[in-house]
Homo-oligomer: A and B are copies of this chain.
Amino acid sequence: MNIYDIAKMSGVSIATVSRVLNNKPGVSENARNKVMAVVEQTEFVPNQLAKSLANSKSFVIGIVMPGINDYYSNRVDAIHKVCKEEGYSLMITSNYKDTNSIEEDLFNFNLLIEKRVDGIIYFPTHVSNPHYELLKKLEKKIPMVITDSDIEGIDISCVVQDSETPTKELMAYLLDGGHERIGYINGLSYDQVNNKRYGAYVSSLKNRGIEVDEDLVELGNFSFSSGYQALIRMKDKLNEKGKDMPTAIFAANDKMAIGAIKASKELGIRVPEDLSVVSYDGIEYSEFFIPKLTTVKVNQYKLGQLAAQTLIEKIETKKTKRVKVVMDHKIVIGNSSRPLNQEG
């Protein structure tokens, strides 16, 4: 069933059918009615592939992301919503290699380009040199927006979180509260956002004249259990060296903070009485965890909206000006932390 059939059945030409189907002017009321009647009766569904082919426009937007997980679900939901409102569909590709391999990102980009998506939203985590080369090649091939990473020298708009300011604010909160021995549970080292957070942690300490103690820094991978284990490792290591536990810990994300608090409880360390734990992300759980987390709430939903809007604007206006959108943030003070000298 195609427009030739519809044309025949309604006694008009395919051009007229096409015009009716696309609500274009220049069709008599009579012809329009005849066509509509046949379309309804036959439940005809035009073939978008053919349409896209003829128009060189697919009305599909692609996402290249590290994995479809709870961390990204709000962001993707927002992207989908905006796309839908603007008439676009969403094609999602994600990366299954452990290392978020560049090969697989490349594969995903090619897939989307072959499918002739109108634009791509990229959630990079790594930004290595080969990524740079890859993006450099893509920058003029297809409209694109990057989230979270701002890559210098590449003409691609981005929507990013300001990772430094909130980290500094939260560090100031701890330091002002009298904490000086502040540990850190770090995330994966290739992650640009993560590294900025860590960098701000280090500089916050230095600005107050506090030396960074390597023994207070543990590495995790953003998961609950890695936070759990990181805390246990930290405790063991400090024990061994005869050092005290820190009075506060900054975890690079909420999940690791939760894991660390769980481990603390099991080790008899009370949070926040003995140990303040603060973190980053403001995921939904952070509010319902007991204790409620002190964290930086990043509005993933808005981040997704902005990314989609930026991309669609780029697609539709063909504007080439690079835009950098910085998300606002919000510090949430919960019950997982408190000033050092507070009684209670």
Chain A residues close to B by CB (< 8 Å):
45-50, 52-53, 58, 60, 67-70, 72-74, 76-77, 80-81, 84, 89-94, 96, 110-111, 113-116, 224-225, 228, 255, 258-259, 261-262, 265, 284-285, 287-290
Name the B residues within 8 Å of A93 (CB-CB). Answer: 80, 84, 89-90
State A67–B284 Cα separation when bound (angstroms).
Answer: 16
Across the interface, A288 reaches (CB within 8 A) one of B70, B76, B258, B284, namely B258
Copies, count: 2
Please report the C-alpha to C-alpha distance between residue A73 and residue B72 in the assembled complex, in whole angstroms. 9
Q: How far is the CB of A51 from chain B (nearest CB, A)?
A: 8
User: What are 8 of the A-B contact pairs (CB < 8 Å)?
Assistant: A70-B70, A77-B94, A89-B91, A90-B91, A90-B92, A224-B284, A225-B288, A259-B288
CB-CB < 8 A to A113: which residues of B? 45
Given contacts A258-B285, A261-B290, could you give 19 more A-B pairs where the C-beta distance is less than 8 Å? A45-B110, A45-B113, A47-B53, A47-B116, A48-B116, A49-B53, A49-B116, A67-B77, A68-B73, A68-B77, A68-B80, A69-B74, A69-B77, A72-B73, A73-B73, A77-B94, A80-B93, A80-B94, A262-B288
**Within the assembled complex, what's the spacing in Å between the Cα atoms of A93 and B88?**
10
Question: How far, in Å, is A37 (CB) from chain B's closest CB?
Answer: 19
Q: Which residue of B lies closest to A79 (CB)?
A: B68
Taking the closest CB of chain B, its distance from the CB of A281, in whole angstroms, is 13
B290 touches A265 (CB 8 A): yes
Q: Which residue in chain B gives the minimum CB-CB distance to A50?
A: B53
- Write out the residue numbers on chain B whose beta carbons fall within 8 Å of the beta carbon of A115: 48-49, 60, 89
> In the complex the two chains form, is B81's CB within 8 Å of A96's CB?
yes
Alpha-carbon distance A54/B240, docked complex (angstroms)? 69
Known: A53-B47, A53-B53, A262-B288. A70 touches B73 (CB 8 A): yes
Instruction: Tell me which residues across on chain B come within 8 A of A116, comparing CB atoms.
Output: 47-49
CB distance from A236 to the nearest CB of B (A): 20
Q: Is B45 touching A49 in the complex (CB atoms < 8 A)?
A: no
Whether B288 and A228, one on each chain, are in contact in the complex, defined by CB atoms closer than 8 angstroms, is: yes
Q: Chain B nearest CB: distance from A94 CB in Å?
A: 6
| Shortest distance from the beta carbon of A120 to any chain B beta carbon, whole Å | 13
CA distance A11 to B131 in the complex (A): 35
Cβ–Cβ contact B80 & A47, under 8 A? no
**Contacting residues, chain B, for A67 (C-beta < 8 A):** 77
Rounded to whole Å, the gap between the CB of A75 and the closest CB of chain B is: 9
Closest to A223 in B: B284
Give min CB distance, A147 to chain B, whole Å. 15
B residues near A225, Cβ cutoff 8 Å: 288
CB neighbours (8 Å) of A47 from chain B are 53, 114, 116
Query: How far does the Cβ of A6 sit from chain B's closest Cβ, in whole Å?
Result: 15
